[in-house]
């Protein structure tokens, strides 16, 4: 890939924030872009100013949502250098989503190289505050200016950077979760295993509706039986039995295969926990909560890392979890995983890629 680096106008350069990051509202000065056309493949790779994209109102992505995105992070190490976490794994999932959405694959090495170069140039935007990171958002959109319902012939691939704090206003405190009996996120044979905007658009109706009932996230059940646990909000979900056995739903085709989930399935056994991937019936799960067999529940994903669940609401009943406190397993996994990510702990798995900037 010939990557052009365009200079920035010093007058328009913003300074990175030092605190109050929020989640996803602030963006660094630069972004990566490249274009795809059927004859030429990917071309015009460049890092230039973070600026608006100009597209015709007829552009395919606005109408039929042919779009994919990713989320990964850069972490500040104590020595001043910066870690990426499993960036190749993330690039592979980007291409899996692209395949499902009939979009062209990117060269995974080029994609990771673009992230590394962008983070090097924007190194000052990697926060130096515990719990804060630089969220990296790659995306690809269909750019044909035409209304025919078919795969676009042209695409834009871009990568933007956002310094972020905790994903939830609750921080590491538990979140209240509503189990939707009526609405579904994804169906087998659909696009649930791809990271495509439509999955998130269709989740908004019930996600917004439950806020008025005092819940901040939705637990999604499978769309065929309305019975098997799939995900929580935009995270995978884990149940802890007896303080030592971690159970997560088996990937079903409608669940996004999370990189945090995959990492926990490797890490947790090395910390002495048992792990299994199972088909989880919501009624059995709630009975196990009531009887005390389940001691903790947490969501896991790049943005929040580990998000303890404080209670479930389902069909007018409430199920309190661990007295609405973060449990010891959630806490330990959060510490161990973030320790590997930001270099406080050794990384025996080779998951981190260090960018030397100090």
Site of interaction with ligand COI (CB under 6 A)? 71, 234-235, 301-303
Instruction: State which of residues 235, 246, 285, 333 lies at the interface with ligand PLP (CB under 6 A).
Output: 235
Please tell me whether residue 222 binds ligand PLP under the rule CB under 6 A. no
> Which stretches of 122-165 are DSSP H helices?
none
Cβ at position 18, least distance to ligand PLP in Å: 26
Residue 87 site contact among ligand PLP, ligand COI, none (CB < 5 to 8 Å, cut-off depends on kind): none
Q: Locate 66 and state its tokens.
A: 């042919």
Cβ at position 299, least distance to ligand PLP in Å: 8
- CB-based contacts of 302: which residues, under 8 Å, 6+ apart? 71, 72, 73, 85, 135, 258, 259, 260
- CB-based contacts of 314: which residues, under 8 Å, 6+ apart? 178, 179, 181, 282, 286
Nearer to ligand PLP, 71 or 127 (CB): 71
**Residues in a beta bridge with 296:** 240
Interior angle at CA 184, CA 181 and CA 188, nearest 5: 125
Please tell me whether residue 302 binds ligand PLP under the rule CB under 6 A. yes
Nearer to ligand PLP, 192 or 310 (CB): 192
Please tell me whether residue 71 binds ligand PLP under the rule CB under 6 A. yes
Please tell me whether residue 256 binds ligand PLP under the rule CB under 6 A. yes
Q: Locate 287 and state its tokens.
A: 């009975």
Cβ at position 303, least distance to ligand COI in Å: 3
Please tell me whether residue 114 binds ligand PLP under the rule CB under 6 A. no
Cβ at position 90, least distance to ligand PLP in Å: 7
Cα separation of 320 and 318, whole Å? Answer: 6
Please tell me whether residue 305 binds ligand PLP under the rule CB under 6 A. no
Cα separation of 336 and 139, whole Å? Answer: 29
Residue 256 site contact among ligand COI, ligand PLP, none (CB < 5 to 8 Å, cut-off depends on kind): ligand PLP
**Residues in a beta bridge with 241:** 245, 294
Please tell me whether residue 249 binds ligand PLP under the rule CB under 6 A. no
Cα separation of 220 and 208, whole Å? Answer: 14
Cα separation of 270 and 274, whole Å? Answer: 9
Binding site for ligand PLP (CB under 6 A): 71, 195, 231, 234-236, 256, 258-261, 301-302
């Amino acid at each position: 890939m010939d990557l052009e680096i365009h200079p920035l106008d010093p007058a328009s350069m913003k300074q990175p924030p030092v605190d109050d990051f929020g989640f996803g509202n602030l963006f660094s000065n630069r972004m990566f872009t490249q274009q795809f056309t059927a004859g030429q493949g990917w071309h015009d790779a460049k890092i230039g100013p973070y600026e608006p994209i100009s597209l015709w109102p007829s552009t395919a992505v606005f109408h039929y949502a042919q779009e994919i995105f990713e989320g990964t992070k850069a972490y500040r190490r104590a020595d001043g250098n910066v870690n990426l976490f499993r960036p190749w794994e993330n690039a592979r999932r980007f291409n899996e989503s692209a395949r499902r959405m009939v979009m062209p694959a990117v060269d995974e090495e080029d994609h990771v190289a673009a992230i590394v170069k962008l983070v090097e140039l924007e190194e000052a935007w990697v926060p130096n505050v515990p719990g804060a990171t630089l969220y990296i958002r790659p995306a690809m959109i269909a750019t044909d200016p035409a209304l025919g319902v078919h795969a676009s012939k042209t695409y834009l691939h871009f990568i933007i950077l956002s310094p972020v704090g905790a994903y939830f206003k609750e921080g590491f405190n538990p979140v209240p979760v509503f189990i939707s009996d009526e609405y579904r996120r994804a169906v087998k044979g659909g696009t649930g295993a791809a990271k495509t905007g439509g999955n998130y658009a269709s989740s908004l109706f019930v996600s917004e509706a439950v806020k008025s009932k005092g819940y901040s996230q939705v637990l999604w059940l499978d769309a065929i039986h309305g019975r098997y646990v799939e995900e929580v909000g935009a995270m995978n979900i884990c149940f802890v039995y007896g303080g030592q056995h971690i159970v997560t739903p088996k990937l079903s085709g409608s669940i996004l295969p999370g990189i945090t989930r995959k990492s926990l399935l490797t890490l947790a056994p090395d910390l002495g926990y048992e792990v299994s991937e199972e088909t989880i019936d919501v009624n059995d799960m709630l009975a196990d909560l009531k009887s005390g067999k389940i001691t903790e529940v947490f969501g896991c994903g790049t943005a929040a890392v580990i998000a303890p669940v404080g209670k479930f609401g389902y069909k007018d009943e409430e199920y309190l979890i661990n007295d609405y406190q973060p449990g010891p397993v959630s806490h330990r996994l959060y510490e161990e995983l973030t320790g590997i990510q930001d270099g406080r702990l050794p990384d025996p798995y080779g998951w981190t890629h260090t960018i030397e900037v100090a």
